[in-house]
Structure 1
Amino acid sequence: MTKWIVGLLLLVNLALFGWMRWGNLLTEDADSGTLQAALHPDKIRLLDALPASAVAAQSETPGLSLTLSPVSAPASVPAPAATHPATHSSPGVASSPVAVSAPLRPPVAVAASAPLNLAKCAEWGEFSGDDLSRAQQALAVLKLGDNLTRRAVERNHGYWVYIPPLKKRASVEKKIAQLKERGVKDYFVVQEKGKWQNAISLGVFKTRDAAEKYIAMLHTKDVRTAKVGERTSKLKYTVFLIRDLDSGTTDKLNALQQEFPESELKVEACNN
């Protein structure tokens, strides 16, 4: 009996030892596949950072060693001349482009705009007597319309061309009829009482030379009794004002001024 008990205990011990040694093989799933081989630390080395997709692909491949290398700090790179920096990649290793700020460009100088063409205006004068009538006729040909105005100028000193005072009113009317026959249309009879009453003024001028030239013109019309005198009383002259001149009208005014040597023509930018 003792032998049977000892033999039974021996079998129980052998069974317990076998279960502890090979029992996990009986509980393991047959379809689970082979365990992944252990990594070898001596074969691991660091490389540049790989894209996430490449890392995932390597991790899913059995037996493939994943190598990584530390990323070294890039040295200072001088700014390239091109706007977009070039990218370099080692064979088999993808590298990300390094963004380099473009050099600051100096501000572009903006050219000053050319001045606008200002409207031009003209002053032409001073006129009196027969010259005033002739200037009015010449300006009427230009058809300036509302662009033509005039202003009066008074001076305390000047010269006039006149026919000495006549004693009778009838003599004054006879002399006026003679002037009209000879083509003299600009005249004025002095009505004020005094030494110049019934004198006939044929024109007033700023200078004696201008008055003398007018006397010479009257002689060509057979007017021989006219004289040149100095006036200290206020004398009125006319100045023509022309606005918004174009180049053609300016040229015509310059040509007209040559016919009136004693006149002055000023062309400049309009005041308003």
Structure 2
Amino acid sequence: MSLLRVTLLVLVALNALAFAGIKGWLGTSTPGSEHERISMQLNPEHIRLATDSPAQGLQASLQPASPAYEAAPAQPQSPPMAAAGTEAPEVLTADTAAAMVADTAIEEDPPAAAAPVEDTAEPAPAQPEPAAARVEAPVVATTPATSCFVWSALSEAQADALSRRLRRSGADPERSRSDIPDSWWVRIPAQGSRSQAERRADELRALGVKDLFIVQEPGPTQYAISLGVFKTESRARVMLNQLRNQGVRNAGVEARMTTRYRVQAELPTDMLRSVEGSVPGIDRNRSTCPRR
């Protein structure tokens, strides 16, 4: 056999061995791409680094390897020597895996891994409300305070005039009437007839009583002998004592009654002058209402 034929057979045998290694007939197969080669040699989720590294919190974010491959052992096996003409697969060391995980964390930067940032900014001061948004409270008119007043000892004409003026001012007057002593009368009771009254008057003159007269008006006091009329009861009593000292008998003091009116109403104090102006002198009869 010639040397040329031997050389050709050796080359054919080497090519056959290389082809068998590429196809995996010798127990291994050459990965078709870089990604496939890395996934065959290493599952990233199983990497555990001895030192603390920022990559530790990011390992879970890496995508798992294809389920078609089995988990690689903790220590990567050295691939068999490839046939001539092929490149040996690269071995991924721990430093290289950490660098790849760091690069992947920088590219992906998942929000879940970011540490919460405390908001230390001070709250902005409250802005005042615009003038248009402010609602002002309605102004409520206050009613002036009123007081209770009473006018007493009024004549019928005074009571009528005051009541009309109070109603025009918006008040609601209350009116009442009563008989009160107007004066005190010192007298000798009525005699049975005019002649009897004249005879009794002559007896009084004989005792020194000069100021007397006989009542002529019809009524219960007709033919009575009047000895004096006084504004107060005390002065009437003084006169009665003097007559008794003179020997006058059967004399006495009688109150002379008159009808008077009382008006009560509530109104503001500043309206008193205008109300009382319609009845001159009526302010002397005014007083405050008694407390109940």
Structure-1-length-normalised TM-score: 0.34
Q: Which has the larger radius of gyration?
A: 2
Q: Which has the higher helix share?
A: 2
